[in-house]
């Protein structure tokens, strides 16, 4: 399989990359783990590839004094695994794809590509990350909650490059978990649920639940969060909250799972993720 003809540029700065990305038909490439297979199948036919893979300023994780974090868009899964301070996130990232994907695939690539079954969007949604976008017009910061709008679709403009993912400090006492029903051949999530919670004084004080693989795009399960917040975190409360995992969502049916099975598994894995996260935060 051979891609359609395209031109290739390798910018030496973010500013140069933003100018090149603004040209009609241009497509940004970093690790290439998702884009290159699509080009070989001719499902994607960019006229120009803008290779940002050597812009070292977009690599690595930086922490602020107040506990916030910024992850450069070119940071690989392997780098996140080595640099994150969150043990549950390290565990989750260590189970994404295979060694080759983790060594070459990038955080920014995963978020910008917006695959409906990708693991990382759910993990970052649960941690309240925002996308930092750069274009020739300047920079803007967009919360990931609302950034994904459909399969492989986001609110980023065609001339914008995702340069980083950024979050503020996490509430005290939080912990998390990621539970996944994996598609064995690809490693993608048939259902993936990321949960970040905190409990204290006998009730749940913070709850973020994000789900991938179920709907047209990764999403915050806000009905689950609302049901969990203020509850006593008991088995009954967790089960009642998890029952809302697919509220308001058109659940996917494909060759791996129909809507009924996927819906049932979303509830199961949401319950398991909440139980694990609350157990760690106790």
Q: Write out pLDDT tens, residues 154-186.
A: 999 988 999 999 999 999 999 999 999 999 988
In this structure, the answer to whether residues 243 and 187 fall within a common structural domain is yes
In this structure, the answer to whether residues 65 and 161 fall within a common structural domain is yes
Please count the structural domains in the chain. Answer: 3
Residue the block writes with tokens 């759910």 = 122
101 contacts 119 by C-beta, under 8 angstroms: no
pTM to 2 decimals?
A: 0.94
Does 2 reside within a domain? no
Does 255 reside within a domain? yes
Q: Among 121, 148, 167, where does a domain finish?
A: 167
Q: Is 53 exposed, middle or buried (0-12, 13-18, 19+ CB in 10 A)?
A: middle
Q: Among 167, 196, 229, where does a domain finish?
A: 167
Q: Is the pLDDT of residue 34 over 90?
A: no
Domain with 163 in it:
57-167
Q: Is the pLDDT of residue 281 over 90?
A: no
Does 1 reside within a domain? no
Structure tokens at 34: 């998702």
Measure the CA–CA gap between 62 and 70, rounded to whole angstroms. Answer: 5
Per residue in 232-257, pLDDT (tens digit) is: 999 999 999 999 999 999 999 999 99
Average pLDDT (107-131) is 97
């Amino acid at each position: 399989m051979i891609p359609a003809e395209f031109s290739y540029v390798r910018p030496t700065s973010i500013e140069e990359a933003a100018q090149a990305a603004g040209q009609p038909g241009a497509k940004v490439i970093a690790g290439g783990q998702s884009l290159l297979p699509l080009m070989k199948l001719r499902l994607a036919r960019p006229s120009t590839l803008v290779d940002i893979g050597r812009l070292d300023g977009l690599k690595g994780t930086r922490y602020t004094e107040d506990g916030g974090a910024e992850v450069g868009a070119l940071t690989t899964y392997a780098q996140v695994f080595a640099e994150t301070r969150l043990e549950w996130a390290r565990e989750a990232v260590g189970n994404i794809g295979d060694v080759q994907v983790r060594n070459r695939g990038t955080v920014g690539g995963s978020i910008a590509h917006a695959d409906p079954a990708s693991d990382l969007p759910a993990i970052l949604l649960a941690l309240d990350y925002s996308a930092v976008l750069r274009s020739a017009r300047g920079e803007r910061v967009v919360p990931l909650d609302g950034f994904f709008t459909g399969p492989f679709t986001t609110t980023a403009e065609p001339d914008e490059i995702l340069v980083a993912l950024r979050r503020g400090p996490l509430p005290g006492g939080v912990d998390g978990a990621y539970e996944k029903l994996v598609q064995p051949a690809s490693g993608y999530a048939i259902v993936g649920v990321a949960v970040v919670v905190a409990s204290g004084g006998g009730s749940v004080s913070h709850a973020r639940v994000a789900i991938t693989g179920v709907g047209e795009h990764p999403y915050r399960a806000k009905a689950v969060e609302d049901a969990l917040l203020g509850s006593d975190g008991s088995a009954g409360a967790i089960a009642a909250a998890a029952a809302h995992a697919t509220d308001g969502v058109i659940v996917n049916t494909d060759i791996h799972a129909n809507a009924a099975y996927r819906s049932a598994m979303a509830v199961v894995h949401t319950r398991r993720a909440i139980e694990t996260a609350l157990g760690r935060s106790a």
